[in-house]
Amino acid sequence: MDSFSYDSLDAPGEIRILTLYPGSKHSDIEASLSVRTNVLEEPIWPYEAVSYFWGDQTQQSTIKVLQQGSVYEISVGKNLKGALRALRYPRRKRYLWVDALCIDQRNILERNHQVLLMSKIYESAEQVCVWLGEKSTDSSLAIEFASRVIELEHTDSLVEDPTTTKKWAALSAMMRRQWFSRRWIIQELALARSAVIYCGTDQLDWSTFDFAIALFVSRENEIGALFGKSEEHGNYSRYLGEPHTLGANLLAEATTSLFRRNWRGDIVNRRRSLESLICSLTTFEAMDPRDTIYAILSLASDVQLQPPSQSPRTRDSPFEVQSSGSDRDAEEAVVFPGIDYSKSVLEIYTDFIKFAVGESHSLDILCRPWAPAPVSAEDGTILKMPSWITGLHGCPFQTRGDGQSERVNADCLAGPSETSHSHTNITYGASGSRKASIEFGDSNSGIIFVDGLVIDVVGCKEDTAIAGNIPQGWPRFGGWKDESVVPPEEFWRTLVANRHRDSKDPPPCYPQTCMYAFQQRAKGADLITSDIIGNQTSSHVSDFLRRVQAVIWNRRLLRTRTHRFLGLGPKRTKKGDLVCVLFGCSVPVILRRIPKTATPALKRRDSSGDLSDCKVVGGETVQRKRIKMGGSVGLPIAKSGKEGQKETGLTMQIVSRTNSIHTEASNSRLDPHFYYELIGECYIHGLMDGEGLELGKAQQTFELR
């Protein structure tokens, strides 16, 4: 049988529609791709869009596609074939848009073009059909129970009834289905006029399931208490994990908070910045790391997707994506370079960092974990990313193989990115009012230059707080020699990073609570925080220790050499590392100075975030781009200067760099013999609110790799 070939798309907004022919339950799946419509023009051919999980693409099957009187076979994933079989009508055609079939996936130019239209495709669909997968032993129970839970007159009794544990477990299992981990689903569901979920032969309106999720999460502590009394479930109150951290709940929350809609349901305002979305939606995965960015673009308040003005077969340049910030002069608009699958992952990640810094005038994005590590297509190894692109291995929560979410790291000290760039709720202010200063090397060099101060050096360190437990040596290291009296202020404030939940000041009870908590441990032993929380009747102690866990988990206690500051750093912190303040970063950071000439190899980062040797890529010669905007950092815009020249006003300055540093004033602050690795953010008591700027340290430029 001949292989199928796609006809080219002609008009800018044109898409293919899959005609799914009727059939019985077990008959071959037959379809055609002859119908087309233009989502940028009225009228639009009525169709439904399918949202599904691609799954393991090594498990392939085939469907029959009719084209101009001939029958062809197209390979599809096993999960997609199951979706088509479930969605097929027995007696009439069904018109669907399915990305794997309606886009020629081998045509990079067409993929660029169609991804730019994706938001319009789902927004224009009559309905989004969500395929969760085939039926399981408890999926029908979950669908039925979800419909019952939303009947408010029954909710309280269902939460209190010990016989409902199997039903809550079934609903939890449904919420952990792989579909809820997909990054593209956020856009697909958020933009939908309406949506229906399908699981095997069962179906349910998304609005009903969404409501059931919200009720479940709002009562998760009470539901957990049911499992604590259930012998069948091991009397384990955490049997269901932490439902509020599951992708299903995050999806439900995100889809209701992304937009403001008018009475007709039309989107009138996007509420969250691109940086905020990228950093908060780390639970959701993409098969292609580039889609970490591309799958979110259409949802961001500071990005405006421009519909393509040419057809995908005639367009010969990447599509530009404009900033839509209303507070920025049109001429100063930050430009995201657009959707271009021919770029490397590093190029696209760098594009995002440039955009985020240009929009926020902050370097906090360097501290926030957000970036999936790309995998080599050749040998499956995890490819090196620069240390200033923080990987997902640093996320506070990660999803286990069984779909449960658990804490694996402390919360990010830089805090969540602002929904906009108002900076009204910044947790700390280590760099005071100093604006971000950043320069970028070539797009694939993995090098940036940032300005800041070296405040001190790590003089000594303590053991790491594994699983959020406080090592037995921490109190004495922190200056607390007599545990029968309240701890020194710098110690207990460091344990909670001098904050309560939601960036509020610590409550007055914390010193006494800290002393009481330490009195509960065995003499000379580690303080096992989870055990004390589980056995505790005092809500004050539990509240304090949960805050401690959120701050210290996988961090280590340290003291600086000169000023004897007490603080918390990443577990990889070593004696001799530098405690620095980077201009435009709200928290201090730990940097490691590495000689250029003495380091023949760079490092490859494995899945845990540790480093191992790998082959050096590139040399020391980089092209350094300094981009200024209104006195602060910006992004390249349509007009740009030539190499070695400067423009006035809004400028982009490109300076060639070699091992010999010269010319500009900032050059004298850049050490040509060393580069720096960003180990991570840190809490240093007494340096979190700009105090480091008053120590008289010399400003310098750091070359980060």
In sequence order, the β-bridge partners of residue 603 are 613
Residue 539 has pLDDT above 50, yes or no: yes
**Domain spans of the chain, in order of start:** 14-125, 131-257, 451-456+565-704, 466-552
Residue 14 has pLDDT above 80, yes or no: yes
Residue 698 has pLDDT above 50, yes or no: yes
Percentage of residues in the chain having pLDDT higher than 90: 63
In sequence order, the β-bridge partners of residue 391 are 371
Percentage of residues in the chain having pLDDT higher than 70: 84
Highest mean pLDDT among 53-67, 230-244, 271-285, 329-343: 271-285
Could you give the CA distance from residue 123 to residue 563 in angstroms, rounded to a whole number? 58
308: tokens are 């393509």
* φ/ψ of residue 505, rounded to 5: -65, 150
Residue 673 has pLDDT above 60, yes or no: yes
Average pLDDT over residues 643-662: 30
Average pLDDT over residues 291-308: 86
Average pLDDT over residues 359-385: 90
CB 348 within 8 A of CB 443: no
| 508 Cβ contact list (under 8 Å, min separation 6) | none
Average pLDDT over residues 652-678: 55
Q: Hunting for tokens 């792989």 — which residue is that?
A: 178
- Across 273-320, the runs of DSSP E, i.e. the strands, are 304-305
Average pLDDT over residues 611-617: 34
Position 609 scores a pLDDT of: 46
Residue 614 has pLDDT above 90, yes or no: no
DSSP structure class, residue 641:
P
Position 47 scores a pLDDT of: 97
275: confidence class by pLDDT, cuts 50, 70, 90: very high
In sequence order, the β-bridge partners of residue 305 are 321
Position 312 scores a pLDDT of: 62
Residue 10 has pLDDT above 90, yes or no: no
DSSP structure class, residue 382:
B
- 453/323: higher pLDDT: 453
Which of these, 357, 296, 299, lies nearest to 324 by C-alpha position? Answer: 299
- 248/651: higher pLDDT: 248
The model's pLDDT over 102-153, given as tens digits with 9 standing for 90+, comes to 999 999 999 999 998 999 999 999 999 999 999 999 999 999 999 999 998 8
649: confidence class by pLDDT, cuts 50, 70, 90: very low
Residue 417 has pLDDT above 50, yes or no: yes
The model's pLDDT over 253-263, given as tens digits with 9 standing for 90+, comes to 888 888 888 87
Q: Hunting for tokens 């909710």 — which residue is that?
A: 155
Residue 319 has pLDDT above 70, yes or no: no
- Neighbouring CB atoms inside 10 A of 151's CB total 9
Q: Is 304 left (phi over 0), alpha (psi -120 to 50) or beta?
A: beta
For the entire predicted model, the pTM comes to 0.84
CB 604 within 8 A of CB 616: no
Which of these, 115, 500, 496, 514, lies nearest to 341 by C-alpha position? Answer: 115
Could you give the CA distance from residue 142 to residue 147 in angstroms, rounded to a whole number? 9
Q: Three-state SS string across 387-438, please?
A: CCCCEHHHCCEEECCCCCEEECCCCCCCCCCCCCCCCCCCCCCCCCCCCCCE
The model's pLDDT over 472-519, given as tens digits with 9 standing for 90+, comes to 999 999 999 999 999 999 999 999 999 998 788 999 999 999 999 999
Q: Is 622 left (phi over 0), alpha (psi -120 to 50) or beta?
A: beta
Residue 314 has pLDDT above 60, yes or no: no
- 196/670: higher pLDDT: 196
Ranges 489-503, 513-527, 591-605: which has the least confidence: 591-605
Residue 705 has pLDDT above 90, yes or no: yes
Mean pLDDT estimate for the chain = 85
The model's pLDDT over 197-244, given as tens digits with 9 standing for 90+, comes to 999 999 999 999 999 999 999 999 899 999 999 999 988 888 888 888
Position 25 scores a pLDDT of: 84
Q: Hunting for tokens 């009794």 — which residue is that?
A: 157
Residue 636 has pLDDT above 60, yes or no: no
| 383 Cβ contact list (under 8 Å, min separation 6) | 345, 373, 374, 375, 376, 604
Could you give the CA distance from residue 583 to residue 278 in angstroms, rounded to a whole number? 23
The model's pLDDT over 335-352, given as tens digits with 9 standing for 90+, comes to 788 889 999 999 999 999
- 12/142: higher pLDDT: 142
Q: Name the pairing type of β-strands 397-399 and 651-657.
A: unpaired
- Across 285-391, the runs of DSSP E, i.e. the strands, are 304-305, 321-322, 335-336
